[in-house]
C-alpha cells in the first residue's frame, strides 16, 4: 500500500474550494486574494513572528479590507499563505478532524484577517485552537 502525504496542490485545492463556498458577501472579495501553499514559512516570516517552523500553519500577507485606502501602493497581491508541513503535523496530532476540516479552518482563519479581524476577534468566537 502506497500512502503518501497530501501534496501542496491537494491542500491548495481544498483551500480554493473553501473560498468558493464562502457566503456570498465574502466570496467575491476573497477570490481576489492569492493562495500559496509551501512546506514552511520562510526564515524572514519565522523571525518576524518569533516562532519555529512548525508553529505557524498559515499567514495573511496584505492590507486588511478595513484598513485599505485608495492611497495604498500595494507591493503585490494580498496573499494567504498555507504551510503544508505544520498543517499536516497539526492534523495528525489532533486525530479528530479530517484534512479538509483542518485546511478549511486555517484558510478561513487567514481570510478573517483579510476581512479585518484580529486574532483576538477570531479567538472570541472560535475555540478551535484551545
The predicted pLDDT at position 127 comes to 66
Residue pair 65/76 in contact by the 8 Å Cβ criterion: no
- Condensed to tens digits (0 to 9), the pLDDT of residues 4-62 reads 889 999 999 999 999 999 988 889 989 999 999 999 999 999 999 999 999 999 999 99
Type and span of the H or E element at 80: strand 79-83
The predicted pLDDT at position 69 comes to 74
Round the average pLDDT of the chain to a whole number and report it: 90
The predicted pLDDT at position 59 comes to 97
Task: Compute the distance between CA of residue 11 and CA of residue 17 in angstroms, rounded to an integer.
Answer: 10
When pLDDT is cut at 50, 70 and 90, the band that residue 107 belongs to is: very high
What is the domain count for the chain? 1
DSSP 82: E
Q: Is residue 109 assigned to a domain?
A: yes
Sheet holding 79-83, edge to edge: 34-38, 79-83, 58-61
How many Cβ atoms are within 10 Å of 27's Cβ, its own excluded?
12
Q: Is residue 54 assigned to a domain?
A: yes
Task: Compute the distance between CA of residue 63 and CA of residue 32 in angstroms, rounded to an integer.
Answer: 13
Q: Is residue 69 assigned to a domain?
A: no
Q: Is residue 68 assigned to a domain?
A: no
Can you tell me whether residue 61 is helix, strand or coil? Answer: strand
Residue pair 39/83 in contact by the 8 Å Cβ criterion: yes
Q: Is residue 70 assigned to a domain?
A: no
The predicted pLDDT at position 87 comes to 97
From the number of C-beta atoms within 10 Å of its C-beta (0-12, 13-18, 19+), residue 63 rates as middle
* C-alpha cell belonging to residue 94: 489532533
- Condensed to tens digits (0 to 9), the pLDDT of residues 79-102 reads 999 999 999 999 999 989 999 999
Q: Is residue 3 assigned to a domain?
A: no
When pLDDT is cut at 50, 70 and 90, the band that residue 123 belongs to is: confident
* C-alpha cell belonging to residue 2: 502506497
**CATH number of the domain enclosing 59:** 3.30.2010.20
Question: Which residue range is the domain that position 37 belongs to?
Answer: 8-63+76-125
Amino acid at each position: 500500500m502506497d500512502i503518501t502525504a497530501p501534496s501542496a496542490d491537494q491542500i491548495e485545492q481544498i483551500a480554493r474550494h473553501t473560498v468558493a463556498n464562502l457566503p456570498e458577501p465574502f466570496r467575491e472579495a476573497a477570490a481576489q486574494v492569492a493562495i500559496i501553499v509551501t512546506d514552511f514559512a520562510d526564515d524572514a516570516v519565522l523571525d518576524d513572528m518569533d516562532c519555529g517552523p512548525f508553529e505557524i500553519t498559515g499567514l495573511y500577507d496584505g492590507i486588511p479590507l478595513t484598513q485599505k485606502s485608495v492611497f495604498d501602493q500595494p507591493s503585490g497581491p494580498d496573499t494567504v499563505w498555507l504551510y503544508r508541513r505544520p498543517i499536516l503535523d497539526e492534523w495528525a496530532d489532533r486525530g479528530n478532524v479530517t484534512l479538509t476540516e483542518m485546511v478549511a479552518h486555517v484558510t478561513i482563519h487567514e481570510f478573517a484577517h483579510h476581512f479585518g479581524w484580529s486574532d483576538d476577534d477570531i479567538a472570541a468566537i472560535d475555540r478551535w485552537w484551545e
